[in-house]
Structure formats: C-alpha cells, structure tokens
Chains A and B, each alone.
Chain A
Amino acid sequence: MKKLTTADYPLAETRPEHVRGKRGKLLEQITLQAVLAGEVDMADLQITPQALQDQAEIAADAGRPTLALNFQRAAELVDVPQDLIMSTYELLRPGRARSKQELLDRAGLLRDHHSAPTIADFILEAAEIYERRGLFTYRF
C-alpha cells in the first residue's frame, strides 16, 4: 500500500472510513447516544497500532523521523497492559533495576510475549548505557 503523506492529514477528515477504535467502531458510531446506551467503553476510545503507524508515515513525510520512531514504539505498546507499561517505566528509572539482567529479562518478555521488538531493542540499548554509566546502583 502506498505510504501516507502529509496530504492525507488529518486522517479523521480525509479517511474517516479507516479510523476505528480498538473494537472496530467508526468515529461516527461513537455518539453520545451510543455512550448512554452503554455501547461504548474505553476500548472504543483507544488508538490502534494501525493509526499510530499511519501517523508515523505522515510524521516521516513531514521531515520528523524521530517523531515517527516514537509513534512506531507507541504502536507496539498499544496492546501492552497498563500495569506492564507502568512497571517497565518504573524499571527504566535510575537505580530501579539492580542489575543489567533485569532489563534484559524485561526486553525478552516484551519481545516474546507482547510482539514488541522495537521496544525490546530500546530497552537493550538502555541496559548497555545504564551499565556503562553505573546506573544499577542503590538510590533509596
């Protein structure tokens, strides 16, 4: 499929038929009436990996490759449970992981069980740097 460009932006206006929440609902189906009828839950209001990949293509076309990379990392995190995201963030803070292995284990978990290879590589990169900079030290 042809890559998206800045001309396709904003997606909600140019391609509303492709913009869906996580349970597949279209924007036009998410109305106040639907909310009141109990037909909408938080999952319907969640962004999808596809939408983030689309925004990444647009950002890259706009000359913002690092923003695009962030959207790609985000795409992998969409289906990662909230608690795991919180604990991974916590683990990446200085001194939380007491050894490089803890980060390597977390990278493995995300790669093998959550289809998040880019995130896993990102954590491996952090592990190398943290080791070099002595960040696996006791802080509190």
Chain B
Amino acid sequence: MQCSSEEAEELRIGMAGFTSYAETVSVYGTEKSFTDGDDTPWSKAFLAAAYASRGIKMRCTSGAGSELLMGFHEAKTLLYLEARCLCLQRGMGVQGTQNGGIDGAPLTATVPGGVRELMAENLLAVWLDLECASGNDARSSESEIRVGAKILPYLIAGSDLICSGFGTIPAYDNSFNPSLFNAEEMEDYLVLQRDFEADGGLTPLAEHRALDLRARAVAAISAVLDELGLAQPTAEMQASVVVASGSAETRSFTPGEVAPISEAIKARGITVIDVIRALANRGFEAEAENLLSMVKLRISGDYLQTSAMIRNGRVVSAINDPNDYSGPGSGYRMTEERRQEINDIRDVLDQAEVLRVEATFEKAEMARIAYPGAGVAKFGRAPDEVVIGISPAFGVRLFQTTAGHRLSDVLRVMIGAITARGLRARVVRLHHTADTSFLGLSAARLSGSGIAIGIQAKGTAVIHAANRLPHNNLELFSNAPITQLEHYAGLGRNAAAYALGEAPEPVVVPTRGEAMGSRYHARVALIYAIETGLTEDGADPQEIDLRFLDANPGRQS
C-alpha cells in the first residue's frame, strides 16, 4: 500500500508493480481547495481510471476540516462539504474511501457535534456503497478518555476497516499525526477486540513468533537489496531493526543513503519481477510466492471491486461477501475460529500461571519455615493462648501475600507480638474452610482465651472471638495488597490485648482504594480457588508444630 506520495510518483511506483493498493488520493469539497491541492475532479477521475488500467486498487480520502485547514470552506458546514466529497468519489467510480476526519479530525473535534460529524461521514460513505476505512487513524484528541469514547461506536457497530491501517509504529514515527491507536496502544487494541468481540483486523502473536517474522522480513529485504546490488545492510543494522520498537532504536540507512537507492530502482527500471527473482535466488521462496500471488491479482481485476481484500489467498469483496446488515444479529459475524484467534491475547493469567509463580518461592520459603502436622487440633484450656488459624493452601501451595510478604515473615511478626505480651501462640490449620471469617471463628473456638487470628495465604486476616457470630469479628484486614508486616505485628499485638481483656485501638491499614484495583481481582479469584480446592467438608483442624528454620529469626527481609 502506498500512502500519500505526490500523485504522479504514486502512479509510477504502482506501475512498476510495487503496490497493489493506492490510497489517500485526496478530494476536497470546494473548488478552491481542490485546485490548491493541485488537482481537479477530472484529473483525479483520470487518475482513478489510470490505476484501474494497471490493475491497481485505489481509494480516495476526504474528511471534515480539510477545507477549513486549507482556507477555502465557503462558509459551508463540515458535513455538507464531506457529503460533496463522497458524492464526487461515487461519481468518479472509485470503489471506496478513507474518511471520518483524517488530518482534519483534531480540528473537527473542537467544534460542537464535531465527533458526531466524523461518524456521520462514515455512515454517508456506507450509504453511497463505498468501501469505508473509518479514519480512526488521526488522533482527534490527546485525552485518553476521548480516544476511548471515539472508538466505541466502531467497536460496537463495526466498519469495513476500523482503522485504515493500524498504526504499528510508535506515535513519534508517524509523520502525519499520531493515530488514534499507535504501537504504544497495540496491547490495548488487541484487548478491545477481545472485550467487544470486534474484528479490528489484528491477530495477537506470541513474542517469539513476532521476532521470528521480523528477523525473516529483515533478512529477506536485506537479501533483495544485496542481490540487486542496491545496498548491503550490515549485520548490526539488521539486528537493530529486528528488535526496535521505533526508528529511534534502529541503526539503519540515513535519508541521504536511501535517496540513491530509490534513484537506482527508478533509473534501472527495477520491477517487482526482479524482486521476486531476488527473493527466490536467496532462499526466500515462500516470500517470493507470496509476492507473486499478490501481483497476479491484478490480472483478473477481481481485486478492483468494492471493499476487496485478500483472505487466505482468495479475493473477498462486496460482490461475493456483500454487506447484508439488516438489524441486530445480522451483518458481519466473526467465526468461532476467528473469535478464538482474537481471544488469544498475551500474558493471560490462569491458575497454572499463579501456581508456577508461587512455586518459584517455595524452596526458599521451605528453608525458613516448616509446618509439620501434629494430629487433630485440641480445644485449648489455657487462657494465655492465642490461636492462629491458617488456611488450607497457606505455606503449602501459596507462599506470599498479595502484598508480596513471605508467609513465614507474617507468622513470625504476629507470633512475636503475641509472645511479647507474655502469651503463647498456637498455630492450627483449618481444612474445612478457606473463608477468613470462619478461619478466625473456628480457630477462636479452639483457643483457650477464646481469641484467634484467622489468616488466608493471600494475607487477608481477621481477629475473631469464640463467642461472636460469624463475620461479627473484632478486627479485619481486608486489603491484603497494601497490608504491611507492621500491620500484621499490630494484629498480633491486639489479639493478645483482647485475650488479656483489654480494648485496644484497632489497627488501621490506610487505604485509598488501591487494594480494590481491578488488577488484583483475577489473581485473587485464582488464588482463592486454589485455597477452596484444598478444602474438605467436615475435615478436622490440624495442630501445626510450627518451626522457624532460619538461623537468624530476627531477620525479616
């Protein structure tokens, strides 16, 4: 695809076989803008026929604000001028458009109703039976909320192309204007596709696969340049391009070095056939086949019809796959196979991943603490004991709190605070429940003082009294992701105080809602499922003969 060169140059490149789709052939809604853009409706219509005569697909571009930016708006509304542009495109016999406020989108978004106008443009294009690349390319606002709001109708309603071409380059590399979505927003866009079951044209790729493809692409292009005697990219150049996010990280040819290469391609009359040969000669047969199949498309002209694209080597267009939208439930529907592709985003968290990460802490934790069982837990008689009831997976499958504290450290500080008041801490493991409140209450019923701490592996903890109703606890740490060791020490101290009949000031974990952040919910659900997976109805609590194995029990880090 060739974007926005000077029109004559673009046609020349297409004729050499280097492009199959010419885009961004601009039209304007007033005569003055048109001539200022150095064209007329007739010159552009001639260009359209010229492209078709070479078997090259073409689309126009227009959009609100261009006439305003160019200074010749004739005091007409934005939508009226765009309606003119679209009717002209239909009249010229062009198969489609890229519109919806392109370079003029930021300007259009500044006026009342401007963003609605951008959508209306796309709707007009559809009514005129044109392929519509919905122009979500220009970033109409620097506000992330407004960017998100702008894309929403397209995610719900769909469009031939939600973006004319996803901006796979970082914003700084875009010489027009950053797109609505750039390389920086790639992961967000992939997730939006999944969340809204919207086909935005991208397929998630594992990193190793992306790297393989990039390495192969860079090697193929380098081989072609070398084979045709145009340039010899060094190994260092190639390596830098494979891993670069943007041009700032590449060590490639300078613009001054590129110009003679382009000149040589033109002067020597190099065509796509030379490139296909070069690819095959250097072992890139698959790439050569691909390129050949692309240029072969122009022979039948099937690709010239409205909304044509290539899917699995076949041409699909508005002729053999027409827009059959007739209300909710009709129109384009993703196949189950495509849905699975879109769902397959990277960095998915599942129970196996949680267990894998936890297991990496297991060995070190086992060197610090042991939880040997010592039979069924007894009902305590001594009033000077505080029981700590731990959950089924505590120190068995899970080894740290969601705040990242080792469970051995949490137990150490709680027990330290209890013994500091001259009381004894007894640890039991509950097997019939993983619920914090019931961990606490069950432990309290076993406690000689009637006071216990219940704690889950993720760090949620409670002080409960034997004579209280479930959930009617004395103190609760519900915000495990922000609960620190000093808070657990405070919990131990206060449990001891209750056991001694005092009324201590409850420990407060200062919160601004961080722990309720959405990032924790899936992880917590998975962790809790690991806990509940180990519970057994009616199972007896177990006495734990807790041992700290660390040579230096005072160390907490």
Contact = CB atoms under 8 A, between A and B. Distances in A.
Interface of A: 6, 9-13, 19-21, 27, 30-32, 35-36, 40-42, 45-48, 51-52, 54-55, 58-59, 62-64, 66-71, 73-78, 80, 82, 85-86, 88-90, 92-95, 119, 122-123, 125-126, 129-130, 133, 135, 139
Contacts of B280: 32, 35-36
B129 A63 contact: yes
B52 A71 contact: yes
Contact of B93 (A36, A66, A89): A66
25 contacts: A9-B319, A10-B315, A20-B299, A32-B280, A32-B285, A32-B289, A36-B281, A45-B55, A45-B295, A45-B298, A45-B299, A46-B54, A48-B299, A52-B301, A59-B306, A64-B129, A70-B94, A77-B50, A77-B53, A88-B46, A89-B47, A94-B40, A119-B46, A130-B40, A133-B31
B343 to A, nearest CB: 31
A92 B300 contact: no
B17 A42 contact: yes
B43 A51 contact: no
B295 A67 contact: no
B302 A66 contact: no
A129 B95 contact: no
B48 interface: yes
Given A32-B276, A51-B300, 9 more contacts: A6-B319, A30-B299, A47-B301, A62-B305, A69-B93, A70-B48, A70-B52, A74-B52, A77-B52
B304 A55 contact: yes
Contact of A12 (B295, B302, B318): B302
B42 A11 contact: no
A48 B53 CA distance: 8
A66 B92 contact: yes
10 smallest A-B Cβ distances: which pairs?
A70-B93, A74-B52, A77-B53, A47-B55, A126-B42, A73-B49, A92-B43, A10-B302, A12-B300, A74-B53
Interface stretch (B6-14, B73-81, B378-386, B509-517): B6-14
Interface-centre pick from A31, A68, A73, A86 (highest chain B CB count, 10 A): A73
Interface-centre pick from A45, A55, A78, A122 (highest chain B CB count, 10 A): A45
Nearest to B93: A70
A44 to B, nearest CB: 8
Interface residues of B, number: 61
B331 interface: no
Interface-centre pick from A11, A13, A74, A123 (highest chain B CB count, 10 A): A74
Contacts of A27: 296, 299-300
A11 B300 contact: yes
Nearest to A34: B292
Interface-centre pick from B35, B51, B95, B300 (highest chain A CB count, 10 A): B300
A52 B15 contact: no
A36 B295 contact: no
A41 to B, nearest CB: 6
Contacts of A129: 42
Contacts of A20: 299
Interface in B287-344: 288-289, 292, 295-302, 304-306, 314-315, 317-320, 322
Contacts of B52: 52, 70-71, 73-74, 77
B523 interface: no
Nearest to A79: B53
Given A36-B280, A71-B93, A94-B39, A30 B292 contact: yes
B90 interface: yes
B97 to A, nearest CB: 13
A51 B53 CA distance: 10
Interface in B1-28: 7-8, 11-12, 15, 17
B306 A64 contact: yes
Contact of A55 (B15, B272, B296, B301): B301
B91 interface: yes
B273 A35 contact: yes
B43 A93 contact: yes
Given A40-B273, A85-B50, A89-B46, A10 B300 contact: yes
Interface-centre pick from A19, A67, A78, A89 (highest chain B CB count, 10 A): A67
A78 B48 CA distance: 13
A18 B76 CA distance: 50
B160 to A, nearest CB: 15
Contacts of A133: 31
B277 interface: yes
A92 B40 CA distance: 8
A46 B277 contact: no
